[in-house]
């Protein structure tokens, strides 16, 4: 990566001028997410110092209360979006209910709602493994200027205007799409600037990685068990390799670059899977499709599912088109029997 690569700021401005009649609202919104991501990144980077600076719920040397990082990230994203007056509503995996920003004395004609998982995979923080923020943006369906309602958030994923993630990894990256390509930007922490490092990201045509928590094998549906056995068979380009970080953003990111499938199926413990449709699966499915991949619940396209509740869970199969289709075939076959 060199200094003359386009920065995220420049990229957003260029994109904005492509939409002749756009108000720049979406560009400003992406900009706010970029800023909040930098603040969270700074804090995530200090996570290893927790024993020195104090643990969650305990006062640190400065007499400040240390917060859990997922709670902190939630607050940073909400405060940034509220303070910049850039959205009309927010729903977060960390909040029981959605937040309406319209109301009171202030006029707010903003048309977008943001849904997010502010810090996904946060159990990985203690062991210095990558975590991420996932975000999803929709145009509200109720009239501008009125308080948002549940209806504004329970839209099928195909209605998303934009979606993306920030991965706090060996490098910090923001990867997002406003509907056409998927572009990735890497943060240069020395100057706090994101540079376009991964233009037009695409899943490779063929993949050979499967990512699933095999510890739950015994509780998996038959179709998934059979697909895992298929991945392990010796034939053609198989056996595939198994890679599972347990951090959706990182597993997805690797699979998009190297080619693979991520599966979090239903289990006897979690009959609807573990992942959340609105905060995790829809944004990832939006990116997957824009990058030439596919995402389904084993039978149905994720982006077609009409949500019924905010914290709804769903089985998730996401990655290389060919691999997801193969897994779906095993699911259908097992269901018929």
Residues in contact with Mg ion by the rule CB under 5 A: 117, 120
Q: How far is the CB of 67 from Mg ion (least distance, A)?
A: 17
| CB 143, min distance to ligand AHM, A | 33
Residue 274 C-beta: closest distance to ligand AHM, Å: 6
Residue of 37, 89, 121, 221 that binds ligand AHM (CB under 6 A): 121
Asked if 37 interacts with ligand AHM (CB under 6 A), we say no
Instruction: Select from 32, 38, 86, 120 the one that contacts ligand AHM (CB under 6 A).
Output: 120
Stretch that binds ligand AHM, among 30-38, 150-158, 242-250, 299-307 (CB under 6 A): 242-250
Residue 117 C-beta: closest distance to ligand AHM, Å: 6
Q: Tell me whether residue 44 or residue 86 sits nearer to ligand AHM (CB atom).
A: 44
Nearer to ligand AHM (CB atom), residue 52 or residue 127: 127
Residue 305 CA to residue 157 CA, distance in Å, equals 7
Looking at the Cβ atoms of 36 and 102, the one nearer to ligand AHM is 36
Count other C-beta atoms under 10 Å from residue 4's C-beta.
7
CB of 91 to ligand AHM, least distance (A): 14
From 248, 277, 284, 331, residue interacting with ligand AHM (rule: CB under 6 A):
248
Shortest distance in whole angstroms from residue 100 CB to ligand AHM: 24
Question: SS in 3 state form for the chain?
Answer: CCCCCCEHHHHHHHHHHHCCCCCCHHHHHHHHHHHHHHHHHHHHHCHHHHHHHCCCCCECCCCCECCCHHHHHHHHHHHHHHHCCCCCEEEECCCCCCEECCCCCCCCCCCEEEEEEEEECHHHHHHCCCEEEEEEEEECCCCCCCCCCHHHHCCCHHHCCEEEEEEECCCEEEEEECCCCCEEEEEECCCCEEEEEECCCCCCCCCCEEECCHHHHHHCCHHHHHHHHHHHCCECCECCEECCCCCHHHHHHHHHHHCEEEEECCCCCCCCCCCEHHHHHHHHHHHHHHCCEEEECCCCEHHHCCCCCCCCECCEEEEEHHHHHHHHHHHHHHHHC
Applying CB under 6 A, does 213 fall inside the site for ligand AHM? Answer: yes
Q: Looking at 27, 31, 32, 122, which residue binds ligand AHM (CB under 6 A)? A: 122
290 binds ligand AHM (CB under 6 A): no
Distance CA 110, CA 197 (A): 31
Query: Among residue numbers 56 through 115, which ones bind ligand AHM (CB under 6 A)?
Result: none
Contact status: 271 vs ligand AHM (CB under 6 A): no
Q: How far is the CB of 297 from ligand AHM (least distance, A)?
A: 15
- Of the pair 254, 313, the CB lying nearest Mg ion is at 313
Which residues contact ligand AHM (rule: CB under 6 A)? 117, 120-122, 213, 246-248, 251, 274
């Amino acid at each position: 990566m060199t200094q003359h690569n386009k920065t995220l700021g420049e990229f957003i401005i260029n994109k904005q001028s492509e939409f002749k009649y756009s108000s720049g609202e979406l560009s400003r919104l992406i900009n706010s997410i970029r800023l909040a991501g930098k603040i969270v990144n700074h804090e995530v980077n200090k996570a290893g110092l927790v024993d020195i600076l104090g643990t969650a719920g305990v006062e640190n040397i400065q007499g400040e209360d240390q917060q859990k990082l997922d709670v902190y990230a939630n607050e940073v994203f909400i405060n940034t979006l509220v303070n910049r007056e850039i959205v009309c509503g927010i729903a977060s995996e960390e909040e029981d209910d959605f937040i309406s920003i319209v109301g009171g004395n202030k006029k707010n004609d903003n048309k977008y709602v943001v849904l997010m998982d502010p810090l996904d995979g946060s159990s990985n923080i203690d062991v210095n493994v990558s975590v991420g923020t996932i975000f999803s943006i929709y145009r509200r369906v109720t009239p501008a200027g009125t308080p948002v309602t549940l209806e504004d958030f329970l839209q099928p994923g195909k209605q998303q205007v934009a979606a993306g993630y920030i991965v706090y990894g060996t490098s910090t990256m923001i990867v997002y799409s406003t509907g056409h390509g998927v572009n990735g930007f890497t943060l240069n922490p020395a100057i706090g600037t994101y540079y376009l490092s991964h233009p037009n990201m695409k899943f490779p045509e063929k993949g050979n990685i499967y990512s699933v928590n095999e510890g739950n094998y015994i509780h998996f549906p038959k179709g998934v068990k059979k697909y895992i056995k298929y991945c392990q068979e010796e034939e053609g380009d198989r056996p595939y390799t198994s890679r599972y970080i347990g951090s959706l953003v990182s597993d997805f990111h690797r699979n998009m670059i190297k080619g693979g499938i991520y599966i979090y199926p239903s289990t006897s413990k979690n009959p609807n899977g573990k992942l959340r449709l609105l905060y995790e699966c829809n944004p990832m499915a939006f990116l997957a499709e824009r990058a030439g991949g596919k995402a389904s619940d084993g039978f149905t396209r994720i982006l077609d599912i009409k949500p019924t509740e905010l914290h709804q869970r769903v089985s998730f199969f996401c990655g290389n088109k060919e691999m997801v289709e193969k897994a779906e075939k095993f699911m259908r076959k097992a269901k018929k029997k």
